Amino acid sequence: MRIKGKLLFIDPGFRYIRTGILDFHQDGAPELVFIKSYESAGINNGTVSSRQEFSAAMRKAFENLRRESGIESFGEIWIGHSGQHIRSDNVTEESKLRHNVPVTARLEKHMMKKAEIGIPSDYQLLHSFQQFSSLDGVRMSSASGLLGTNLLSRYHLIFSRKDIVNNLRAALKDAGILPSRFLFNGYTASLAVSHAEEINLGCLVIHLGHSTVDYIVFQEGQPFITGSINDGWQRVIRDVAMGVSLSVENAEKVMKSSGIAHDIEGNQDGPLNIPNLFGNPSPITRRQLAIIMSTVIEDLFSLVRDQLKNTICRGHLPGGVFLTGGGAMTRGITYSAMGIFGVHTRVEYPMLPWGNQEYEPGWAPIIGMAKEASEKVFPVQVPRDMTSRVVTSTSGFLKRMFPRSRVRTDPEGEPDK
């Protein structure tokens, strides 16, 4: 993969437009030289809801980014993408081989292209992965260079509706942005937080955004099921607001200060004394708030579990469940997830393979894009001891099991400005 110039990554969310710029030194080593979020508008559930508002927000963000970063042009621009219109499929292709003619990389590439043609005509391919090959009944990662008579390969394809992608492309063009590639946020988020050991064992990564929840299941080192639901953290805020007659703004504030996704504490029956819509102190207690929040959050996880059908069980997910996205910062959310999926769950903070800085979970798609680009241009081999990923200190354990709601801003994890 060759990239001329700097890469710009954009994740346009319901509330914030997250951006990052990746540059490469003369020796090819990557560096994330800029990262910042800007206010968003005109997009919901990963779909443009108002072209004019979205284009205006993107234009303003793009102008500010170029001014603040000092970078005017980019070699490529990658756009994060999510929403219920994202679909996936596992496709199998088979080929009869000629006698004493080895399998070539060209043949394997041809079989993948043939599999990609099979997606619905009204959808656009985002990602394709070769899950495995089978040469005369023997499974392997690649049969290239081997002799046989029957080659079978299975591929995992991720695709999105063309009209929704074209709406995004047109609105971005209005803002002076010409995207080079669209990437599924669930996949890029998984790159930022999951590790080789868990992927090979089999794991589930869930990215909790404000208006979408993306998920991806890995089995035997490759994506097996991917998808997205048009629901997210705004539903939790809305249900809390409706349940206790609060404004949306006050509901979000009380969730940050006193909310918990699972009622595991002792006596929490004292009133929170927050003003309701009628100007009177609300009698709601922290326990009642926890009941509302945990009910909605567990329902979101149940929607994901139902999409995965029979693949969710301890035997299929020995690597556990990873939570990312701004919603993952809610205290006690790992207990809610463990109650639904029945496996070990932890909140993961994205990191780049060439650095030791942790970013907030809402930045997982941007960090994943940077990792995807860097590994294709300049592979970075970083040894990861399995024990180094285990949280051993009390503070580290609490950080992941009870992410602090003193997030620097909103549940999506906007950074300090």
pLDDT, residue 410, reads 44
Least trusted range by pLDDT, from 91-105, 132-146, 228-242, 403-417: 403-417
pLDDT, residue 10, reads 98
- HSE at residue 68, side-chain half, CA atoms within 13 A, is 16
Distance (Å, whole) CA 181 – CA 283: 50
CB atoms within 10 A of CB 105: 10
C-alpha pair distances (Å), 99 with each of 92, 142, 144, 237? 23, 19, 15, 64
Domains of the chain with CATH codes: 87-159 (3.30.1490.110), 195-347+386-417 (3.30.420.40)
Residue 173 phi/psi, 5° resolution?
-65, -40
Residue 361 phi/psi, 5° resolution?
-55, -30
Distance (Å, whole) CA 271 – CA 33: 47
pLDDT, residue 245, reads 81
For residues 269-286, average pLDDT: 72
Distance (Å, whole) CA 191 – CA 13: 19
Does this model's pTM top 0.85? My answer is: yes
315-330 pLDDT, tens digit per residue, is 678 899 999 999 999 9
Question: Which pLDDT band, with edges at 50, 70 and 90, does 1 fall under?
Answer: low
121-145 pLDDT, tens digit per residue, is 999 999 999 999 999 999 988 889 9
65-104 pLDDT, tens digit per residue, is 999 999 999 999 999 999 999 999 999 999 999 888 899 9
Helices in 319-402 by DSSP H: which ranges? 333-341, 364-377, 394-401
